[in-house]
Structure 1
Amino acid sequence: MARVRYGARTEAEIAAARTASSRLPDIWSTGVVALWETDPDAVAAVLPPPLKPTGRPLVRVNISRVELPGHPLGAGSFAVAAAHDGVDGWYPLVMPMTQERALTGGREVFGEPKKLGEVTVERDGLVVRATLARHGIAFVEVRGAVDGELPLPEPARKTDFYFKFLPAVDGSGFDGDPVLVHCVRNERVRSLERVTGDVVLRESVYDPVADLPVHRLIGITIGEKTSDQRGRVVEQVDAQALLPYIHQRYDDPRQFLDAPPERGA
């Protein structure tokens, strides 16, 4: 009988896959990063406990083209500064990705708030434009012109905070206790340039980032970087305290919090 591909993998095949995934080469991306100060009350409003605001109400958007062999990937992140247990980091509100493959690992393993979307990074000479779009709306656009090289930063350790959970089978709450994940990346940069420009946030009911407006633009850069990624569960979190924030993860919160949509809706 021909092999049934949905059948069980052998122990040797499983071991080979694990070995291959542990030896990934450096994967470089070209990315546009914008950083700004926003309304401190808005930052505090989007942070589920036990995350807390830091000393500055910062927003960071990262829009990248990742050079995966044979499968270029568009990857984005819109995050606010946050702190937990003495660690300063970032809490992403939405992470658009252009491929399903990038969604599954991030959402199922780390709890990343990834969604399918359109991610573009364009450069024509000195002119730079990068966008995050979903449902036909470019809800973030970063645009400007390169105006000089910047010194390369030293390798840096950066932390993102994620909540990992499963919606309950009966539609009420969670199956099991949700957990808080610290995802640590060791980042190296091989090129970095300053961009003079602006950030445009457009209204979207699906991705309401316009609620975190640009009060003071700190800077825009374009560069090439690579990083590894390691995550660990740091604590279980209060399910009832997290529940009011779960709509951040879904385009239609009725998928999680309410009854199924009415027939024809």
Structure 2
Amino acid sequence: MARVRYGARTEAETAAARAASTRLPDIWSTGVVAVWESDPDVVAAVLPPPLKPTSRPLVRVNISKVELPGYPLGAGSFAVAAAHDGVEGWYPLVMPMTHERALIGGREVFGEPKKLGEVVVERDGPDVRAYFARHGIRFVEVRGTVDGVLPLPEPARKTDFYFKFLPAVDGSGFDADPVLVHCERNERLRGLERVTGEVVLRESPYAPVADLPVRRLLGITLGEKTGDQRGRVAERVDGRALLPYIHQRYDDPRQILDAPPEPSQGSARWS
């Protein structure tokens, strides 16, 4: 019988695939990062327990073009500063991806809140534009002008917090206790430039990031970076406490019943 590709793999084939994944070459990305201070009450409101706010209500958006072998990937993250068990890091609310492969792996393994969407990074001379879009709405846009080269920082370790869970088959609660994941990333850069510009947040019922306004823009950069990541389960969490927040992961149709901001607040620009 010819090989059945959906059939069971041998232990040797499984081991070979695992070993190959640990020998991946450096994968570089070109990305725009913007960081700002937002409303502390809003930042606290989006954090599921046991995550807690940090001393500053920071928001960070990362919009990147990743040079994956064979095809480029658009990848991004919109995250707020958070802390857990003495560790400070970032809690992403939405992570748009342009390919299903990156989306599925991140959601199933780490519990990342990834969704398919448009992720664009463009540079024309000194002019830079980067954005996320879903359902025809460009809900985050960063644009500006490169105005200087920055010194390269030392390699750094950063932590993202994710909740990994399976909604119950009967639609009530979870099939098992959710877990809080610490995902540690070791990052290094080979190029970094300062950008003078603005962040635009547009109203979207499916990605309501406009609720986290830019109170004070701390900086925008354009950089080239690479890194690796490892995740670990930090603790099992109370499903009853997490349940009110799981709509963050999905395009919950009930969100469209929420009253939108007043027209003057539907788009926020800061430079």
TM-score, length basis structure 2: 0.93
Alignment match, 1:261: none
Once residues 82 and 90 of structure 2 are traced to their aligned partners in structure 1, the CA distance between those partners, rounded to angstroms, is 5
Corresponding residue pairs, total = 254
Alignment match, 1:183: 183
One-letter code of the match for 2:3? Answer: R
- Following superposition, the deviation at residue 253 of structure 1 comes to 5.7
Alignment match, 2:8: 8
Alignment match, 2:43: 43
- Residue aligned with 1:161, SS: strand
Once residues 38 and 5 of structure 1 are traced to their aligned partners in structure 2, the CA distance between those partners, rounded to angstroms, is 50
Once residues 68 and 3 of structure 1 are traced to their aligned partners in structure 2, the CA distance between those partners, rounded to angstroms, is 29
One-letter code of the match for 1:171? Answer: G
> Cα RMSD over matched residues?
0.7
Alignment match, 2:172: 172
One-letter code of the match for 2:227? Answer: S
One-letter code of the match for 2:39? Answer: D
Structure 1 regions of 5+ residues with no counterpart? 255-265
Q: Deviations over 1:107-126 (max 9, x none)?
A: 00000000000000000000
Once residues 227 and 112 of structure 2 are traced to their aligned partners in structure 1, the CA distance between those partners, rounded to angstroms, is 17
- Residue aligned with 1:228, SS: strand
TM-score, length basis structure 1: 0.95
One-letter code of the match for 1:218? Answer: L
- Residue aligned with 1:224, SS: strand
Q: Deviations over 1:33-76 (max 9, x none)?
A: 00000000000000000000000000000000000011100001
Alignment match, 1:257: none
Structure 2 regions of 5+ residues with no counterpart? 255-271
Identity %: 86
Alignment match, 2:259: none
The 5 Å alignment of 1:112-151 reads 112-151=112-151
Alignment match, 1:56: 56
- Residue aligned with 1:153, SS: coil
- Following superposition, the deviation at residue 13 of structure 1 comes to 1.1
Once residues 9 and 222 of structure 2 are traced to their aligned partners in structure 1, the CA distance between those partners, rounded to angstroms, is 43
Once residues 71 and 176 of structure 1 are traced to their aligned partners in structure 2, the CA distance between those partners, rounded to angstroms, is 36
Once residues 206 and 253 of structure 1 are traced to their aligned partners in structure 2, the CA distance between those partners, rounded to angstroms, is 8
Alignment match, 2:244: 244
- Residue aligned with 1:248, SS: helix
Once residues 6 and 186 of structure 1 are traced to their aligned partners in structure 2, the CA distance between those partners, rounded to angstroms, is 35
Alignment match, 2:268: none
